């Protein structure tokens, strides 16, 4: 068959014909101009998208309007720069971008940059003037914080007023934090000198001024080319949210960081609409060990130790990365906004990410009938080393060790596991079934390929629970879906992320002949090329995997997952694969599931978690914030009291009695650092409410 890479190469050759002999000579003789390079880049990019994407888009006026809206949203997400009159000028191009991208014209982009840079210069005078005067926090006024509800200002005076409220809100947060800290210091008898409210307010404005001075200095150094990827991805992301263009430097960063994994603290970050958020914590990393930084946290400012923090809101991800990254042993302080809206400063000492902690590991949960617990943070595989570690083999080894310890049931924890190697999923499911299909993978054309376990041996035939949550994605969802379809085990937790697509990287330089070396490097295109399906024929795309036993958590009522991504590919179904469901009459699965649902319903702690999730939903959906200090402080105090109730309830839960596997004791004794990390892992598992419920489910049926 004609491979995807060959399709891209063929279209690249076709692209070269478009430019003709004259273009070849021009490039060879004088070197490429900016316009020529952009023309080559856009034509190769569009041809790659049109020829190799799983679901190609029609390049018409409708496509143009989508790209226009997406670009404008990303250019000025908070509507603090462009005026409505600027948008009106740009609107003339709303149905013409499809023609411009195909011809290689950057006329619209250049105009947008011209208007945007002009407004940035004007906004610089706004914040300086506003922050020169004290804020009064006695007046009852509000601010809208959801960008989608904001409108472009119709005049410079109206825009300046929006800046006033925006800066006042940021100052209010700082003032409230300082007031709260002083009140807590009073109750603890601290001797630190107490500041007056006037001093606190002045400090807040001073720090804001310094942050915005730095922000506008950086913005003044931006070239139009810095925004080019944003513009091009406004087209790529119409195809689906995981298809995107990477400029050469961005691809280097991607490779270096392993999909955004930050050297120094070990967090996977994403940037959307000017907000930098944590999407994943690397197991064993400084962030993981410190324990306070969580997926969903928004990073607002970054400080090097006790130095003044730098505002990273609106900053490009690679720029923010450069501030967070640092040498081993140095301190970074992240000013974050938690998912419940509270603000927190998190201090992390940078270190080398410990890869060992990213591997599968297990514990034995003691009892008359001991239960095995396996934590799998990712489906990893070392593709470059034939003898390298992979998750399939490692989990098989953990299962073997647990059998030696007479484990009567096994809990496989896939919470916060973002996926990885597909083959390892097949191998892993094969540990628990006799043989049969595990997942179906389908390209745009042709029948689905069925990946199956061909080994009739069952390494573990006892009761199985798979723990999942909203951050369980891709490969994790394949495994959970296969176990559920085979009725091999019980899926416990919350609905998974819902990503049922497969991506592949293509080097755009490889699709052009040597004649175009002058315009290289062009960068890379990450394309969605396949979708995967359950053995039942359904995809997990958008819907994820719904657990058999649903446990409430922080994200229960939030809009989260693939279904919330703009232009995500749809849910669909194909023919089911032929498979035989597991039959274990000695384990009453239906009775166990019914019992678990009743236990969760009657649990005071799960009830508190559910109430907390409902309050969080209410706070997220209420997008207006008061700018009156007393009102803001009262709400923050209420939030803290509610959070404390849940924290107290969790502390009062009896801890599980766990043991290190005999096979691991000698290995850990020989490595002090590894032993300390394993102790932290054990400590967390003991007090984990969700693991405790999984244990109860298994013991109900044993």
Nearest residue to 530 (alpha-carbon basis) of 627, 440, 644, 444:
444
Tell me whether residue 50 is one of the annotated catalytic residues. Answer: no
Dist CA 397 CA 524 (whole Å): 38
Residues 6 or more apart whose Cβ sits within 8 Å of residue 695: 365, 367, 371, 411, 656
Return the ∠ at Cα 226 (arms to 224 and 231), rounded to 5°: 80
* CB-based contacts of 39, cutoff 8 Å, min separation 6: 19, 103, 104, 105
Strand partners, 351: 264
Token readout for 256 is 């270096």
Residues 269, 278 contacting (CB under 8 angstroms): yes
Assess contact for 298 and 275: CB atoms under 8 A.
Answer: yes
d(C-alpha 207, C-alpha 131), whole Å:
10
The token pair that represents 215 in the structure block: 């922000």
Nearest to 505 by CA among 225, 281, 263, 250: 250
**Phi, psi dihedrals of residue 48, rounded to the nearest 5°:** -65, -45
Asked if 457 and 396 touch (Cβ cutoff 8 Å), the reply is no
Q: Which of 485, 548, 553, 688 is catalytic?
A: 485
Q: Are 135 and 170 in contact (CB under 8 A)?
A: no
Task: Look up 485 and say whether it is catalytic.
Answer: yes
Where do we find the tokens 């706070």?
A: 619
Give the strand pairing for 464-468 and 409-413.
Answer: parallel
Which candidate in 499, 520, 531, 538 is catalytic?
499
Catalytic residue among 474, 495, 612, 626: 474
Q: Where are the alpha helices (DSSP H) in 437-474?
A: none
Determine the Cα–Cα distance for residues 277 and 558; give it in Å rounded to an integer. 16
Cis peptide leading into residue 521 (ω within 30°): yes
User: What tokens appear for 570 in the block?
Assistant: 């749809």
Rounded Cα–Cα distance for residues 255 and 249 (Å): 10
Local structure of residue 538 (DSSP, 8 states): B
The angle formed by the CA atoms of residues 125, 130 and 131, to the nearest 5 degrees, is 105
Where is 440: in which H helix or E strand?
A: strand 436-443
Q: How far is CA 296 from the centre of its chain?
A: 7
Residues β-bridged to residue 144 = 624
CA angle centred on 543, ends 540 and 547, rounded to 5°: 85
The CA-based diameter of the chain, rounded to the nearest angstrom, is 82
**Beta strand residue intervals within 523-606, DSSP E:** 524-533, 549-550
- In order of 443, 577, 669, the CA distances from 536 in angstroms are 18, 6, 46
* Contact present, 86 and 119 (Cβ < 8 Å): yes
C-alpha 146/C-alpha 223 separation (Å) is 28
Cα-based distances in Å from 481 to 466, 544, 694, 698? 10, 9, 18, 19
Q: CA-to-CA distance for 548 and 373, rounded, in angstroms?
A: 19
- Interatomic CA distance for residues 552 and 294, integer angstroms: 17
How far the first Cα of the chain sits from its last, in Å, is 51
The catalytic site residues sit at 474, 485, 499
């Amino acid at each position: 068959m004609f491979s995807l890479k060959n399709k891209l190469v063929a279209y690249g050759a076709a692209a070269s014909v478009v430019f003709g002999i004259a273009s070849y000579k021009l490039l060879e003789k004088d070197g490429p101009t900016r316009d020529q390079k952009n023309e080559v880049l856009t034509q190769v990019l569009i041809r790659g998208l049109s020829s190799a994407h799983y679901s190609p888009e029609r390049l018409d006026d409708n496509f143009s309007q989508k790209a226009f809206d997406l670009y404008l949203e990303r250019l000025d997400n908070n509507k603090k720069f462009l005026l409505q009159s600027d948008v009106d000028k740009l609107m003339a191009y709303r149905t013409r971008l499809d023609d411009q991208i195909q011809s290689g014209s950057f006329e619209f982009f250049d105009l947008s940059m011209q208007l945007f840079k002009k407004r940035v210069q004007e906004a610089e005078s706004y914040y300086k003037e506003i922050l020169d005067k004290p804020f009064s926090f006695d007046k009852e006024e509000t601010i809208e914080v959801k960008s989608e509800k904001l409108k472009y200002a119709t005049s410079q005076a109206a825009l300046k007023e929006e800046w006033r409220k925006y800066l006042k809100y940021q100052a209010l947060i700082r003032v409230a934090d300082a007031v709260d800290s002083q009140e807590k210091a009073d109750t603890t008898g601290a001797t630190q000198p107490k500041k007056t409210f006037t001093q606190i307010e002045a400090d807040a404005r001073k720090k804001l001024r310094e942050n915005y001075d730095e922000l506008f200095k950086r913005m003044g150094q931006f070239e139009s080319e810095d925004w080019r990827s944003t513009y091009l991805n406004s087209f790529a992301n119409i195809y689906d949210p995981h298809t995107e263009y990477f400029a050469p430097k961005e691809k280097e960063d991607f490779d270096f960081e392993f999909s955004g994994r930050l050297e120094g603290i070990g967090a996977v970050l994403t940037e959307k609409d000017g907000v930098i958020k944590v999407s994943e914590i690397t197991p064993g990393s400084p962030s993981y060990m410190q324990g306070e930084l969580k997926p969903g946290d928004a990073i607002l400012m970054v400080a090097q130790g006790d130095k003044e923090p730098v505002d990273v809101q609106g900053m490009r991800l690679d720029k923010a990365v450069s501030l967070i990254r640092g040498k081993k042993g140095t301190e970074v302080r992240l000013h974050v906004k938690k998912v419940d809206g509270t603000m927190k400063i998190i201090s992390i000492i940078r270190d080398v990410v410990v890869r060992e902690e990213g591997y599968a590991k297990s514990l034995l949960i003691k009892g008359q009938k001991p239960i095995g617990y396996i934590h799998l943070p990712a489906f990893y595989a070392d593709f470059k080393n034939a003898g390298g570690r992979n998750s399939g083999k490692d989990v098989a080894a953990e299962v073997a060790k647990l059998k030696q310890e007479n484990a009567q049931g096994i809990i496989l924890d896939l919470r916060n596991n973002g996926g990885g190697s597909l083959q390892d999923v097949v191998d892993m499911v094969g540990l628990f079934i006799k043989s049969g299909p595990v997942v179906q993978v389908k390209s745009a054309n042709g029948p689905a390929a069925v990946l199956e376990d061909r080994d009739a041996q069952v390494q573990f035939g006892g009761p199985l629970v798979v723990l999942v949550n909203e951050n369980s994605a891709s490969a994790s969802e394949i495994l959970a879906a296969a176990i559920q379809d085979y009725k091999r085990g019980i899926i416990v937790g919350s609905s998974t992320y819902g990503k049922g697509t497969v991506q592949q990287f293509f080097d755009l330089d490889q699709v052009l002949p040597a004649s175009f070396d002058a315009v290289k490097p062009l960068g890379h295109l990450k394309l969605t090329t396949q979708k995967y399906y359950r053995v039942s024929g359904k995809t997990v795309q958008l819907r994820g995997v719904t657990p058999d036993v649903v446990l409430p958590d922080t994200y229960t009522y939030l809009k989260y997952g693939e279904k919330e991504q703009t232009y995500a590919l749809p849910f669909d179904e194909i023919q089911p694969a032929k498979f035989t469901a597991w039959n274990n009459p000695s384990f009453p699965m239906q009775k166990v599931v019914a019992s678990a649902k009743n236990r969760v319903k009657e649990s005071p702690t799960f009830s508190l978690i559910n109430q907390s999730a409902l309050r969080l939903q209410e706070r997220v959906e209420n997008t207006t914030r008061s700018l009156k200090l007393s009102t803001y402080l009262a709400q923050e105090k209420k939030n803290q009291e509610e959070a404390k109730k849940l924290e107290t309830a969790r502390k009062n839960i009896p801890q599980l009695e766990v043991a290190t596997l005999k096979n691991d004791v000698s290995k850990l004794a020989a490595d002090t650092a590894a032993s300390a990390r394993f102790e932290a892992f054990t400590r967390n598992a003991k007090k984990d409410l969700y693991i405790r419920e999984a244990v109860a489910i298994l013991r109900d049926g044993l």
